Chains A and B, each alone.
Chain A
Amino acid sequence: DAGVIQSPRHEVTEMGQEVTLRCKPISGHNSLFWYRQTMMRGLELLIYFNNNVPIDDSGMPEDRFSAKMPNASFSTLKIQPSEPRDSAVYFCASSPRRGGLDTQYFGPGTRLTVL
């Protein structure tokens, strides 16, 4: 079975540009998570969805970040405008059900560099 799919794997952009990261969760999973990983702060949860509905976005850094999940098989994380401090690896993860005995499965990540 295909795991979590993320695109692009690498993105290099200039400060001020809009960046869109994409994620396809594992089929049948109904929870989706966006994480950011940096050396300084480790793995941070940005936002997660259950059944396409945002449940907890308290980790979203600021209004420049937005996430959508228009259907069960697709989600985007958008940064507009991007800044150098947004440079990090962004992971998407999915989970088979909400709460309880669920576990999260991670995608390969998108390495974002903002110049």
Chain B
Amino acid sequence: GQQLNQSPQSMFIQEGEDVSMNCTSSSIFNTWLWYKQDPGEGPVLLIALYKAGELTSNGRLTAQFGITRKDSFLNISASIPSDVGIYFCAGRKETSGSRLTFGEGTQLTVNP
């Protein structure tokens, strides 16, 4: 079952607005990943974070690895219609080998 709490579950925003979503857990993770999934496609990796406190950007996307190692957030600035999709966080625990735990996803809708 899911061990990552991802919020919000859905967001409806206007084009140009900034977006923020986050994942939290009661467990410590040593890697955080953010994926985007378009309808009918597989998740696509957006950003990977490997160190507590790390802040990484990919174009208009910025993600941070929480200091406690139990959370991460993703920000999207100046949203555009093609940002529509489901965003997933995923974490890897030090003791779980290559196994990832996924959040439940945030469905983002951008109104033009």
Contacts and interface: CB of A to CB of B under 8 A. Distances in A.
Partners in one complex: yes
B45 A43 contact: no
B87 interface: no
Given A106-B43, A109-B41, A55 B105 contact: no
Contact of B100 (A104, A105, A108): A104
A34 to B, nearest CB: 12
Chain B interface residue number, banded:
20 to 34
Nearest to A59: B99
Contacts of B48: 101, 103
Nearest to A33: B98
B2 interface: yes
B98 A109 contact: no
Nearest to A92: B42
A51 to B, nearest CB: 12
A33 to B, nearest CB: 7
4 residue pairs, one from A and one from B, having the closest CB atoms: A106-B42, A43-B102, A106-B43, A103-B48
27 contacts: A31-B98, A33-B98, A42-B102, A42-B105, A43-B88, A48-B98, A48-B99, A50-B98, A55-B97, A55-B98, A56-B98, A56-B99, A91-B43, A93-B42, A99-B97, A99-B98, A103-B45, A103-B48, A104-B33, A104-B45, A104-B100, A105-B45, A106-B35, A106-B42, A108-B40, A109-B40, A109-B42
Given A4-B42, A107-B42, A109-B41, 8 more contacts: A31-B98, A48-B98, A91-B42, A98-B97, A103-B33, A103-B45, A104-B33, A108-B41
Interface of A: 4, 31, 33, 41-43, 45, 48, 50, 55-56, 91, 93, 95, 98-99, 101-109
